[in-house]
Amino acid sequence: MKCMYCYATMIRQSAPFQITRPHYHVTLESIPAWTCSQCGEVYFETPEVEAIQNLIELLEVQSQVLRKAA
Ligand SMILES: [Zn+2]
């Protein structure tokens, strides 16, 4: 697998992932990912992307409840 930016070799390791929303911040410390050995670009594969999307979806729904209570 080659980096789409610099065409260097991608290494299977892990990377952090962060999102910031108005009512919460999420930091996942270490997700399996492909990382470029040269420029540091990170790619997540489909299972990881789907898990992150599911997590955010749950957070969106559950945080609605917490917002009402505040
Ligand atoms: Zn690269």
pLDDT in tens, 26-59: 999 999 999 999 999 999 999 999 999 999 999 9
Percent of the chain surpassing pLDDT 90: 80
**CATH fold of 10-69, please?**
Ubiquitin-like (UB roll) (3.10.20)
What's the CA-to-centroid distance between 32 and ligand 1, angstroms? 17
Q: Is 11 helix (H, G, I), strand (E, B) or coil?
A: strand
Per the confidence metrics, is the pTM higher than 0.85? no
Structure confidence at residue 69 (pLDDT): 60
Do 28 and 16 touch, CB atoms closer than 8 A? yes
Could you tell me which residues come within 8 angstroms of residue 17 by beta carbon, excluding any fewer than 6 positions away?
A: 26, 27, 28, 31, 44, 52
**For the chain, what's the residue count?**
70
Indicate the pairing of strand 10-21 with strand 42-43: unpaired
What's the CA-to-centroid distance between 10 and ligand 1, angstroms? 8
